[in-house]
Each structure stands twice: as C-alpha cells, then as structure tokens.
A and B are shown apart, each in its own frame.
Chain A
Amino acid sequence: MNSNQLIALAPIITIAVTAVAVMLGIAVRRNFILSCGIAAVGIVIALSTLGIASRESAVRATLLILVDAYSLFYMALLLSGGLAVLGFCYDYFKEREGENEELPLLLLTALLGGLVLVGSSHFASFFIGLEILSISLFVLIGYPLNQSRPLEAAIKYLVLSGVSSAFLLMGMALIYSQCGELHFSGIGGYMTSRDNISAMVLSGTLLIMVGLGFKLSLVPFHLWTPDVYEGAPAPVTAFIATVSKGAVFALLLRYFITTYSYDYTPLLTVFSVIAGLSILGGNLLALLQTNVKRLLAYSSIAHMGYLLVAFIAGGRISSMWVVESVSFYLLAYFITTIGAFGVVSVLSTPQTEADDISCYRGLFWRRPWLAATFTLMLLSLAGIPLTAGFIGKFYIFTSAADGRLWGLLLAVIVGSGLGLYYYLRIIVVMSMNVDGAAIKPPQDWVSTAILAVLTMLLVWFGIYPGLLVNVIQSVSYAME
C-alpha cells in the first residue's frame, strides 16, 4: 500500500481510529461530553482529510475500495450528516439517565460502515459496509434500553434487516455463480460481453434490489419504516433516514453505472413499478397521519420514490445527469430531513418524545424561531420555491420529462399534491393560537446552532444553487 492509497483511505482510517479512541476514553473515564467531543473532533479531522484526498485523481485503495470524486463527495455528505446528528444526540441524551457514553462510539461505527459503502467497488466491501452500518443501527435504535418502544423498534429492525440481508447475499451468490466475479467492474465486463442477460443474473440483481430496497424503505419493503422511525430516539431516526439511506443509494447508483445494468430494460421496469408504488403509497400513508415521526417516515418513503425516478431517467439520458440530479436531491434531502428530525429532537424531553402532532400546537407562539425553522424544513420537503427542496424537485421533474417517463411524472405530480396537504397541516397546527404564556425553552445551544446552519444552507441552496451545482457537476464527471 503506497502513500497515495493511505491518503485516499485517510477518512475511513480516521473514523476507525476515533472509534477506538472513544472506546479507550470510556475505559479511562465515563464522561458523555468527553465522548461526544472526541467523536466530533474525529469527524472534523476526517472531513479535513477529505480535502487532502480530493487533490488526487481516482485511487484504487486495495481491491475493495475505490476513492474518486464521487465517493469523496458522498463521504463528505455522510460525515457532515453524522456530525449534525452527533450534535442533536448530545442535546438529546445529555439530560437522560443511563450510561450514554457509548452512543458516539456507535455513531462512529455506523458512519464507518457508510463510508465503506460509498467507497466500495466489490461485493465484499459492499456487504461488510452494509452490515457494519446495520449492526450499529440495531444498538442505536434500542439505546434507551429501559423503554419498550425503542426496544421493540430495535428488534423489528434486527429481524427484518436479517431477512433482507439474506436476500442480498443470495443475490450476490447468484451473480457470482454466473460471472465468477465479485468485483463491480468484473461484473460489468461480463454484462457487456453478453447480448442477453441470463435469468440467474437478472434474479440475482433483483434479489440485491430487495436487500437495498429494504434499506431504502421502498414499497413493498417499507413496512418497517414507520415503526422503527417512531420507536428510535429522534436523532437516531434522523441518522437512519439520511446517512444510512444516502450511503445505500450512493452504492446502488455506483453499482448500476459500473456494471452497465442500465442496459437491461427488465430491471428498469421493475424499478419503475417500485418508484410509482413508493410515491403513491408513501404519500397516501402519510395523508392522515397524526404522529409526526411516522409522518416523516412515510414521507421519506415517497422521497426515495422521487429519487428513484431520477435514477431511472438516468438510463435514458446520461449517467452524468443522473449523478448530478440524484446527488443534489440527496443533499437537499439530508439538510431538510436532519433539520426536521432535529426540531423533533429539540422538542423532545426525557419524559416524552415529541412525536404527536398535539405537541406542535401553537409552536409559533411558544418558540417562534423553532417553528419557523420547522416550517422551512417542511416547505422544502414539499418542494416549495426558495428552498433547496424545490431545486431538488425541479431536478426530478426535469429528469422525468427529459427521460419521457410520463407515467412516473404523473405519479410525482400527484404525490407532490398529496404531500403538500400533510406538510401544510403541520404548519397550520403550529400556527394555531393557544393560551398560556411562553415557556422558557431549555438551553440547547448545540442543536440551535446546527439548526441555524441547516436553515441557512437550505435557503442558500434554494436561492443560489449555482455554486453547489458546479461542485456536483465536477463530481458527476468522475462517473463518466
């Protein structure tokens, strides 16, 4: 391994070392602030190593990991997301009973899994990354051990994730049986050498799709989503909704482009069905939901459906375009979703999780800034102009129209209409007047700062997306 490869792997190594450091720190002294501090420093160092790594061209660090502009972009995205979630975790858990020091450690290992996932170019690293991520998540979801809800959610996720991993492994095995290759580019070589894809490879790819579809909570593998989102602590939910899904989607896109799977229409047909069902199903499920966490869970199903539309359209346009649109949408989705769950997490107290819509009644009068932030996040989720969500939605519409996916475009339009209904409902509830004086909010400075940054980014990318689009376009060249 030469120095170039070491530099390329630096973010992954840094996160792994930080996890060990946090563990050692706990062994010396149990202190939640210290744990969070080490973890935060580690993530920041990892982010800064990205800057060094980005000067190099694509580096194949070992057989398993490929570090190019694409993976660096997603690593940056995941690390930033992880940092924001860590901040919310700090405020959420600092007042709670129990030994919370291991939480940053688990967050780091989950992040490590995500980093491996977005850099992987091999089935082995793919599976290892996914499992590191998932196993950390089981514990994170069930972290408040003495409560029944998180425990239930953790066990559900554990069992179902196991089921989906079984499908995933079976799919890999089927593909390996035909190609004799585990490397993505090897599989790509096999695919291009045939005119017709064999039933085994098709089934294998579809079984992989089952596994990934589960992680992305696409219909019909979505049933776990609301239960787990509701049960998990709010910051962890934010992590599942963003970092976990983002990493998996980035991998899916890389796999599809590297293996030339776009050339096989049966796959795209299946994807179209899944996308359409996810958009309609997610939005319909959210329509009359009164639990905000469940509502956001359903809406995330719909958002993954939208993302899939851009993904499918990429097959008809160009892989560069699909990377651009998917990356922008994911970034906007990260900002918005972390912000929305951040608000939920700020409002939650050690006694109650702020998930029922009644907790939000009159929020504009009690905590106007928080309510304004949440409103912006919801508007962005609904794709209203002047927010990053609008630009993301615009990419989806353009993709669907350019790719001539009229059926899916119709689904996106109907879905957006339905979405507006339930997002606005929360805003209406927040603006209802309630009696009673304003209560002094707890001092959550870290969360407040993160929410402020997220809100600024949301508006900035909504009004001047040009800078970000330039960055993303340079990333998309890497996938040519």
Chain B
Amino acid sequence: MADAYMGKILKVDLGSGVIEEESIPDSVYEKFLSGSGLGGFILYNRIPAGADPLGPDNIMGFVSGLLTGTGSLFTGRWMAMAKSPLTGGYGESNCGGNLSPAIKRCGYDGIFFSGISEKPVYLYISGAKAELKDASDLWGKDAIETENILLERHSSGRKPRVACIGQAGERLSLIAGISNDLGRMAARSGLGAVMGAKRLKAIVLGGSKKIASHDKDAMKALSAGCNKWVQFQPWFLSGNGLRFLGMILRYLPFQTAMDGMLFKIMLTKWGTVSLNQYSIEIGDSPVKNWAGSNLDFPKALSDSIGPDRIKARETAKYHCYSCPLGCGGICSGPSLAGETHKPEYETVTALGALLLNNDLESLFLLNDKLNRAGMDTISAGVTAAFAFECFEKGILTEKETDGLKLKWGDSRALVSLIDKMIAREGIGDILADGVKRAAEKIGKNADCYAMHSGGQELSMHDARFDPGFGLHYTTEPTPGRHTIGSQMYYEMYRLWKRVPGLSRPWLVYSKKSKYRVNRKKILWAVACSRFINVLNGAGGCAFGAFIGVDRFPVFEWLNAATGWNRTPLDYMAVGKRIQAMKQAFNLKHGLDPASIRPNPRAVGSPPAEKGANKGRDLDLDKMVADYWSESGWNTKTGVPGADTAADFTNV
C-alpha cells in the first residue's frame, strides 16, 4: 500500500446496526484517488439503479482527501456524496472545516452509510471502537447546538470532530446540507435530507491514527514554497476602491487574464465577501432573480453590504484545517445570539442582490439561521427570489404566502419567508424542496422564474459575464454549481504551466471574444472539469488552486505523499475517469444529460436589455456538443465511451 491513504473504508448499515471495515485495493486509489473519486466509485458500483434517494438503498459517504494530513497545504476538504434527492443524479458536496483529517485519523478514507435506522442515531468513533449511539435527545436541535452538545459529551479524550444536520435535514428539505465546525456547510445536492431520511443526526470522530506520507521532507519543502506565495500580501484597495475598479473594468471593451494571486490578496483581506460589490459592478453577480442588472443594485444600495462593512464585524480570521490563508471569519452582531461564521459571497448575493436586499443585519441573521437549520444558503436565496418574482407577477398572492407581502428588498418579509421554509410552514413547505419542485407544485408557468439547472439552484456567478459558468452549469454530472470551472478559473489554475498541450490565454483580449465558441476554449473547460476532479480526489481547496498549479503544487504533492511517479497528464487522465464515472452514474439512474439545461434567462435567452451584460447570449447547444466531443463522449447524448465505462468496475 502506498502512503497517504489508509486503505480502508468503514461501512455502517443503519438498518441492521452492523458496522464493518472493508479493505480497498490499491488499484482503486491509483485509478480514482480518494475523496470524490473513491466516493464516486463506491456509489457507482453499489447503489442499485433507480434507488430512492431517501430510501434504504441509497448510500451516503463521508470521504477525506488523498492529500489530507500528509503535510500539504490547502488540502483539508472532505466530501459528502450520495444519490441526490434534489437532482436525482450523482450528489456531492465539498466542505472545509476540520472533519477531513478526522476521518483518516479514525483509520479510514471514507465512512459509508446504507439502510435506515429505526430511531435517530449518531456514529461515534474513538480509538478502535465505532458505535451507533442514540440521538433521540438531539433530534430537533439545530446544527450548532447539536455539535456543542456532542463536543461536551465526548470531551474526555482528544477533542472529536463533528458533522451533523439541523432541522432542515430532519424535515427532509431537499436543499438541506451538512454542518461541520459550527456552521461550515457541505450545502449542495440536498445531502442533509439523505442523512435525515436515514435518521443519522451526526458523525463524531475522535480517532488519533497516524497519517503517513512517503517523503515528508519533500512535502515540507513543497509546502514552504507554496506558503511563500500565500503570505505575499501587499497594500490593496479599500472595499469602495475595489467596487470602483469593477465599474471601470465594466466600461472597458477588453479585459486582462486573471492572475489568481490578485484574488488571493482579496481573499486574505476580506474573504469571499471581497466580491460583494465588485462582482455586481462587473456583471458577475446575478441581480433580482437574474432578471435585473447592476443598475438595479447600484452603489447607493450595495454600499451597506460592502466588504469593509462585513470585515468590520469580524472578530477573528477562521482557517480550515491545513489552510495558510484564512478566508473565513468569526463574526458577532446585535441580531445574533453569539459568534457565527462570516457570511460568504454566495450567501450575501443569494440573499442580497438576488432579492435587492441591502439590509446587512438581515444577512447576518439569515446566514446564522440557515447554518443552524442546516439549509443551503444559495438554494434558499434562489428559492426565495423565485417566490418574490412569483408574487410580483401575481402567481403567488398574500393568500398563498400567509399574508406575507414579498416585495423586492423587503428584508423582514424575507426573514419571515426563510423562517417558514426552515419550519416547513405554509408556503415554506412548498419552497423547502427547492425551486424546481416549488415551480412544479405552483404551476401557472412559474418554472419561467425557477433558476436552476437539473434541479440544482444556480450559483451566484452569471454565465452572461463568463460563458464558462454556463457550460459547467449544464454539462457537469453535478450541474448548477460554480465550483468546477469557467474561463476565469482556467486563467487562475494556470494548468498550462504543468500540463503539456494546454494553451495559455492571451494576457489581454476583447470581451466580445469571450462569447465566440472555439475549440481552444472548449479544451480549457474540459481541462477545468478534469482538474477539479483531481483536486476533489486530493481534498484540495479551489482557492488554493486559484493561485496556480505552479505555486500550489498539487501534482508534486500527490507524488511526494504517495511515492507514485506520475506526470500531471497522468493525473488529468484520472480526473477524466472520475468525471466520466459520475456521468455514468447519472445514466445508470435514468437521467438524460441532453435534457439538462439552466433556465434560459441565465444564458441570455432573451438577452438582457440593460446593464453590464446587455445583449449577451450564449450558444449553449454548440458549447455542450463540442464539450462532450472533446471529452470523448457522444456529442448528442453525453454518454461516455465504452472503454471508459469499463474502467469504473474493473480495478
């Protein structure tokens, strides 16, 4: 067995209570790494076709990254995966916090749950013992309270790490996520509902096993080199200055390739909220349920949620495990009972610009409420914006909203609506399952205003600003998310520095050229998809990777940690295999990739009549066909080639 991975998984049958270990052959790690790849391999081979996502046949995994605990930086992310009740296909969510090393320190690369428990339980692992414990007293409690109780209950030895669900998961909200480290969320794909359906309230991991690394000295040297780049932090603009820069860039007919070091500097200074106003000005943030523009949320409105305003509430920086940057933050405020995690850009925009809400206090309050309930802030914001637009159009009236007047920018109505979604009361019961289900239940052509792709609510990056987002929202086995690729991501990953055959973008290019579909840009998108699957197999953070693979040496770390001697091209082939396997999972479960498209509004159909993205549209059909062609998949159906499919079972 190579170093870096534990070579075992833990299987827990919640129906029978049987807990057993299983050794995983080296060939699985060699072909799929760990993390997303190992999890996908188990799910693909062991969930029967057509299984009910909320039934006993679904398998829920918690998997660490291959590089986690080996001495590399930015590699502490863990992945939860199951068949998604939200999309009906492969479901996965990825989170930082502190759980990833805890999985390995229990002696496993992953923990997989099947069956349904008769009563609420949690898994507790300490030393060599793994046991299911009664969680009846925890059922009904929010995620933060649950974690604090469990930390107190198991405080005798080494402090354990906890992942748990709040009330949203218990109530089977299809936009429920999983909380770790008091409010870091694995939010997407509705996996909190899978835990809720299994009556699995939490996992509590207190192991202390050693994680090996093949060449510790090489790992340290690589980490030291990476850290030098991360610690470079020159003077930078104020929040208002950054907003002004976004405005200037909007007016220019050309743009420059993005160096991720600039984003790193912004992340170090503010975290992801650095984008709050900049992204609105430049056209990256969707506004007013994607029907508005920067003109609907100008400086006068956005100033109150600017990055400096949020940073002023930060009492300490928060670092996930193995992160030298610390983009997170711990905040407090008058509306909050105690400390809370700083809202992320996605949260602020989904509950802010998307609803024309500029009430900062409401954003802190909603972020805290949703983290406690364990509900995805992106999906909650998108679903609320859908309800607001339905109200504006007369599809929903005060009769259906229990008297709530859903007027754009009304933060009090928004807070009440989110409360109803968490409690599944009245209109909230319809909205708690996400925007696609809500539109189906409401009818009256409400789906025109439902901003999702394949059932997953769209993230807060506008495909009309960067067409790459539109392509990845459509073609990925986990559609609708911003964490995989875009043209700007390709520029920041700097893959051409390590992967032969990939081209370097022009330093300066016209904005119009972004919307022309050509083979070069399709190859960049395919490279992003493959790379992110490698990164998620390694447990790496995209924000680390954004400084570029020559400064964030993930390929070199993988070799030094495992003792393998592989080229970056070899690893990209692994990424290709993992992505194809997830696509094959979707096909096995009856999804038609060709039918998955984001809401037309999101890709400029019809084009916006004003604002930063005025007149822009995407030739999505051509982009998708070309992407599938360059991936080696059927250009009409999105089915991976037969030779690739054989790879997923023969290990």
Co-assembled chains A and B: no
Chain B residues with a Cβ under 8 A of chain A: none
